[in-house]
Amino acid sequence: MTENKIYLDYAATTPVDPRVTKAMLPYFSKKFGNTMSLHSFGQEAKQALEESREMVADLMGAKPNGIIFTSSATESNNLVLKGIAFANKAKGRHIIISSIEHPCIMESAKWLETQGFEITRLKVDKYGFVNPDDVKKAIKKETILVSIIHASNEIGTIQPIEEIGKICKDYNPPTTLPAEGGAPRVYFHTDATQSFGKIPIDVNKMNIDLLSASSHKMYGPKGVGCLFVREGTKIEPILHGGGHEGGLRSSTVNVPGIVGFAEACKICKMEMKKEAQRLTKLRDKLIKGILKKIEDVHLNGNPKKRLPNNANFWFSFVEGESLVIQLDLLGIAASTGSACATVKLEPSHVLLAIGLKPQEAHGSLRLTLGRWTKEKDIDYVLKVLPGIIKKLREISPLKK
């Protein structure tokens, strides 16, 4: 094992920023009250909760009362699909998603099909883009929800969310359902887990009704997420209890985690523009270097319309898991794709959706940069990766 330690898996999770840790510490032992308690300890925690709600809302241009804190983006996504589905089933049972959503969306949709809901999975092009016209064509009078990921957690492609949101907002079905007092509302949700804190988001400008995000993808603690719910949205809770978070998410509130999430949002707002420029420069150097130094390598996703920290490739005649292991032996932490799917050792559904064959998808490598990535780290990867690929191809049964 080399002494070099280079972390290039920021899409899987991020280290907690020391500034975030500092903000959280008092709420573990000194300011430990339950936000539902009426005494001063509880009200102190309640104040921290509401101040945090304002900070998270500010990063997405939302009203604070639209922010619901959850345990994760997975919970937020489950709440959206199941909560919207069951709250609006009398109006319609049709939901539209893309074919490259995160597994928590894909699996929730699959489960809803067992409950009598119809799911349309939109195809994407070779770059992973959803065509807004396909969304428009797929909407029908029974449609109650469209859920399209903002930026792919695997290939980094950024979707035309504003345009898709406007299609949902402007949709007027040809018939009405008098029993329900009019035509069904088509809600628009986006999973912004990978994009929140990295690129600007404005839920009003982008016509977003619901948005999911996660703290640990943006240098905050694990175990905290949020869901933006636009005022007037008809949605059912999936956790029932004491009525926390406006009745949408019952459970004793994780004040330390939420305070950390809010501090992470505050830091991202201050540093986002400069950091995006820095990471884009490093990302482009990494992409150009790999494409130049190694033969039979292909970039997954759009070269430009992608997250500033994401580089994803597939290498001919190479098995991705072996590549990740070899990189780890040289001190480089990388992945083949989504951290939530790698244990299955199956080809990525995202890579298959953009047209790769199973053997090509198995040769994928995702390198994601972050706040502590330096140019020397990129130089080191470009130095050692060609040799690793050469070594793996020499022993590969795939290469004839």
Q: What is the pLDDT along the chain (400 residues), one digit of tens a residue?
A: 345 699 999 999 999 999 999 999 999 999 998 888 899 999 999 999 999 999 999 999 999 999 999 999 999 999 999 999 999 999 999 999 999 999 999 999 999 999 999 999 999 999 999 999 999 999 999 999 999 999 999 999 999 999 999 999 998 554 444 444 445 589 999 999 999 999 999 999 999 999 999 999 999 999 999 999 999 999 999 999 888 988 788 888 999 999 999 999 999 999 999 999 999 999 999 999 999 999 999 999 999 999 999 999 999 999 999 999 999 999 999 998 655 555 556 889 999 999 999 998 999 999 999 999 999 999 999 999 999 999 999 987 766 5
Paired tokens of 25: 């510490």
Rounded distance between C-alpha atoms, residue 146 and residue 90, angstroms = 17
Q: Is 316 exposed, middle or buried (0-12, 13-18, 19+ CB in 10 A)?
A: middle
**Which residues are annotated as catalytic?**
340
**Token pair of 241 as six digits:** 């209890």
- Is 189 in a helix, a strand, or coil? strand
| HSE-CB for 113 with a 13 A CA cutoff | 12
User: Between helices 40-60 and 255-293, what is the axis angle to 10°?
Assistant: 30
| All residues at 6 or more sequence positions from 36 whose CB lies less than 8 Å from its CB, including other chains | 42, 242, 244, 252, 253
Distance CA 332, CA 325 (A): 9
Q: Give 80-125 as a 3 state SS string.
A: HHHHHHHHCCCCCCEEEEECCCCHHHHHHHHHHHHCCCEEEEECCC
Q: H helices within 115-233, ranges in order? A: 132-138, 161-170
Domains recognised in the chain with CATH numbers: 6-15+271-394 (3.90.1150.10), 18-266 (3.40.640.10)
pTM of the model: 0.93
CA 231 to chain CA mean position, Å = 23
d(CA 361, CA 381): 21
Q: Would you call 273 exposed, middle or buried from its count of C-beta atoms within 10 A (0-12, 13-18, 19+)?
A: exposed
Count Cα atoms within 13 angstroms, Cβ side, for 244: 21
With CA atoms as reference, report the closest residue to 149 among 303, 353, 315, 334.
353
- Quick one: three-class SS letters along 277-305? HHHHHHHHHHHHHHHHHCCCEEECCCCCC
End-to-end alpha carbon distance in the chain: 31
Could you tell me which residues come within 8 angstroms of residue 191 by beta carbon, excluding any fewer than 6 positions away?
73, 77, 101, 102, 105, 147, 149, 150, 211, 212
